Chains A and B, each alone.
Chain A
Amino acid sequence: MSRSFPSFGIMLAAASLLFAGSITDGPTVERATINSAIISWTAKNPEGTDLHYAIAHYGTSRQNLAEIAKSPTRRNRSHTEMTFRVLLPELKPGTTYYYWVESVQANGNPDGVRSGVTQFTTPHRP
C-alpha cells in the first residue's frame, strides 16, 4: 500500500483549526468592491514591534492561495485587543476569492495568530 500524505488543503485546514481560536472576532469582509476588498479581524494585542502588518493570503482557488496582501498598521500598546485590516487591491469583479489571514511584526516575525480559510465574492460590474 503506498503512503499518501495529507493534501495541502487538509493540512491548512488543520493548522487553521489549531490557530483559529486566537482571533476574537472575524475575519470578515469589511467592504468589497468590484476590484478591491478590505478584510478585518480582531485579536489579542500581539505585543512586539509598534508597526505590524495585517496579511491576507488569497487566491481564486482554495488550493492555491499564493497571492499576498499586506497592510501596515500601528499597535496601541495600551489596548488589550487589536483590530487588523488588510486591503486586497486589483481584484476581479464577480469573482470568488478564498483567503486566510495572519499578522506579523515589522521585523517579519509572525504573531502566531492566523485564521481558517474562508471566502468572499466581489460584486459584478454594474
Chain B
Amino acid sequence: MKQFVKVSVLIVCAATIGSQFLHLRPVSAQSNQASSGKAVILPPGYTIPPADMRCILPGNKLDLQCLIVNDPDFLRVQAEEAGLEAQALAAAQSGTLDPFHQVQTLGKLEIFDPNLAVNNNLACSFCHDPAAGYGNGASILSVFTGGSNPGSVPITVHGAYPNNRIAKRNPQSYVYAAYFPPLQYLTAQADFYGGNFWDGRATGYRLQNSAAEQGQDPPVDPEEMANPDTACVVWKLSLSKYKSFFEQVWGTGALSSIVWPPDVSTVCSTPKGAATFGSNPTPLALTPEDRTRANQAFDEFGQAIAAYEASSDVSPFTSKFDYFLVNKAKLTPQEERGYDLFRGKANCNSCHLDGTATSQAQSAATPANVRPMFTDFTYNNIGLPKNLNLPWYYENTPDQFGFTGNPQGFDFVDFGMGLFLNGYYGPPPNSSWAALYPQFQGKFQTSTVRDAAKVPYPGFVKAFMHNGYLTSLKEVVHFYNTRDVFPYPVQSGSCPSGTVEKVTCWPMPEVSANLNTTIGNLKLNDGEENDLVAFLQTLVDGFQP
C-alpha cells in the first residue's frame, strides 16, 4: 500500500476512535465567528494522553487551565525549566564564571525564570522548550492549537473560551536567533534581510541586536507574560534570586539604584491591557531618572537573553551536518540523497542557504561557509492555509480585565510582515518601510531549519510554521512539494470528499498576495520526500562524532 493511503487509513481510524470527543459541535454564537471546521485530525501515531482527555472540550477546544496542571508535556517542561534555572543559579553563585559565561548565565537565569511573568507563573522557556528545539514543547498544543501556548493570564469570565490568554502564533524557535542581523531593507536587493519574530518586528534597531529586542517583547505582550510596563520586568529582576548577579554583570546599582513607587506591587500584578491602564504603556510612575535607569536595565535584560541564545547551550553548531562538513561524520546514503535533493531538485537552499558554493556535484568538504545558517534571513509567503484551530480566533470578547485580544475574531488575517509594516504594532521604527507593505504582506521569516527536527522524545508532535498548520516534517516537505498540485479553494477542514487534507488537498492560502512560486510543485516522489526529511534530521544539534 502506498504511504499516502496508509496515512489516510490511519487518519480515518484515529478520527473514528476519537470522534466521540472530537466531533464538531457548533461554536457558541458571536456575530463574526465562523465554525472552526471539522474534527481535529490526529497525526499518525499520536494518542491523546489519558491525563488530557478530561481537558478536551466539545468542538475541538481545550481547557487550558486543565492542561496546565495535567498535561504530561506541560509538567515535563516545567520540571525541566526548574532544573535548568537551579543549574544556572548554582553557576552564578559559584563565583567561578568568567565574564563571557557570566552574561550568558544571566540570560539563562532570565529565560528560565517564571517569576518574570505578571502572575509569576510563566518563563520564556515554557513556550520555548529546549528539548523541542526551543519551540513549543507540548504535543497536545501542536495538535489542537497550532502550537500556540497559554500565557500568564487565565480568563475567568464565565463560559469564556479560551480560558486563558493565548498568543496568535506558534512560538518560534530561537536557536541561532542571535545570528539574525538587525532588520534592514537592502536597496540593491530590493528586499528585507534580518530581524527576528515571524514578522520581523524585532528589528534590533536600537541595540543593533534583533535577538535582544525579541527577548524584550514577550514579557510585555498581553497574551504572553503580560507585564504592564517594561519597568515591571526590571522590578521583578530586582526581587529575584540573581539580582546581585545581574549587578555583577551590568554594574552596581543597575537594579538597586531604582526607587520604586509605593504601588509598584499593585501595578505590576495587573496584566497588560487591563482597562484600568487605558492606553498608558508606562503605568508605573517613576521619576525620569529612575525611568531611564529602568529602561537601561530592560535593555541589559534583553542583551543577556541574546547572549544566552548565542551560547553553546542554544546555538552550538554541533549537528551531524556540522561534523560532516569537517569530515568527522559520514552521511548515510539516504541522508546523502536528501542533501543532494536539498541543494538540487528540491531547491531548498535557494532560501535555506547551506553554505555550499557550488552545485551538488561539488564535494561538501570545501564549503563556502563553515557555519551555514540554513536561512537567507528573508521573508516569504509560502501560501499556508489559515489554521482555524487557533484559539486566538475566539479571543474576541473582553476578559475579566476588560482586555480583548482579537476583536476581529475569525476575520483576523495574519499578514505577517505586512502587519508589522502596516502599523498593527504601531508605526514601524523606520517610517520609510511602511510604503513597502504591498510587497511584503503575507510574508513570514525564512526560519533556520537547524534543529527543526529536534523533539524531546519519539512520537512528539511538533507544530511548524507561524500558525502551526503543519505538524510533521513530512507534512512540511509534502506541502512544499505539492501545494500547487493539490490546491482547493476551501478553508481548512472543508476538503472535498475523496481527498485527504494535507495529503491530497491543500486549502487555499490565508494570504494570496506575494505567493512565492519557488515551491509548490517540486516533482518529488514519496521516497524523495522521505530522503529530505532524513537530511533535515542531520541538522539537529548534539551529535556525537
A residues whose Cβ falls under 8 Å from a Cβ of B: 30-31, 33, 35, 38, 40, 49-51, 54, 71-76, 78-80, 84-87, 89, 105-108
Measured CB to CB, the closest approach of chain A to B526, in angstroms, equals 20
Which chain B positions have C-beta within 8 A of A85? Answer: 484, 517-518, 520-521
**Nearest CB on B from A44, distance (A):** 14
Q: How far is the CA of A113 from the CA of B187 in the complex (A)?
A: 23
27 pairs, A vs B, C-beta closer than 8 Å: A30-B521, A31-B484, A38-B484, A40-B521, A49-B190, A50-B191, A50-B350, A50-B376, A51-B190, A71-B516, A71-B517, A72-B514, A72-B515, A73-B517, A74-B376, A74-B380, A74-B516, A74-B518, A78-B343, A78-B358, A79-B359, A84-B517, A85-B517, A85-B520, A87-B517, A106-B191, A107-B188
Q: Mark B344-355, 1 if CB is under 8 A from A, else 0.
A: 000101110000
A39 to chain B, nearest CB (A): 10
- Cα A107 to Cα B362 in complex, Å, equals 31
Name B501-529 residues within 8 Å CB distance of A: 512, 514-518, 520-521
- What's the least CB distance linking A35 to chain B, in Å? 8
Q: Is the CB of B516 within 8 A of A73?
A: yes
Residue of B nearest to A33 (CB): B487
Residues of chain A within 8 A (CB-CB) of B516 are 71-74
In the A-B complex, the 6 residue pairs with the smallest Cβ-Cβ separation, listed nearest first, are A106-B190, A76-B350, A85-B517, A74-B350, A71-B517, A107-B190
Find the residue from A30, A54, A86 having the highest chain B CB count within 10 A.
Answer: A30
Given A74-B518, A78-B356, A89-B512, 10 new contacts (CB under 8 A)? A30-B484, A31-B485, A50-B189, A50-B376, A72-B380, A73-B516, A78-B349, A85-B484, A85-B521, A106-B190
In the complex, which of the residues A75, A105, A108 contacts B350, with contact meaning CB atoms closer than 8 Å?
Answer: A75
Most buried by B among A33, A51, A108: A51
Q: Contacts of B285 on A, CB cut-off 8 Å? A: none
Complex interface: chain A residues within 8 A of B520 (CB): 38, 85
Rounded to whole angstroms, the CA-CA distance of A74 and B349 in the bound complex is 10
Residues of A within 8 A of B358 (CB): 78
Q: What's the Cα separation between A87 and B519 when bound, in Å?
A: 12
